[in-house]
Structure 1
């Protein structure tokens, strides 16, 4: 298992969190997604290391941007 964390900008409500969570959960191998609205911190656990390109595309599909990888 691998866990990647990054910060997503632009989320303002629970619907935003749900959208980001759903899009990231669709990436093959992802087993858990935790999103903290206040800080924008996102933690994704997956069977193998999460591709930055896949995460960026998923977050973009939800309508947001990754501002920093932690």
Structure 2
């Protein structure tokens, strides 16, 4: 199990949390997604290392911005 935290900009409410949990959770191998809107942090657990570019694309397509790993 690989768990990585990312800084994500543009989140402000429970809808943001729900949206990101859904779209990231649909990625192959992802087993858990924890979105902390207040901290601007998304923590992803998966069965392997996810490519930052893949995750950034999904997050950007949802209307948010992956700004880096934490």
Same fold (TM over 0.5): yes
Structure 1: any 5+ residue segments left out of the alignment? Answer: none
> d(CA) in 2 for partners of 1:15 and 1:44?
18
Q: RMSD of aligned C-alpha atoms?
A: 0.8
Deviation readout 1:6-34 (Å, 9 max, x if unpaired): 11001111001111111101110000000
Give the structure-1-normalised TM-score. Answer: 0.94
Give the structure-2-normalised TM-score. Answer: 0.94
Structure 2: any 5+ residue segments left out of the alignment? Answer: none
SS of alignment partner, residue 38 of structure 2: coil
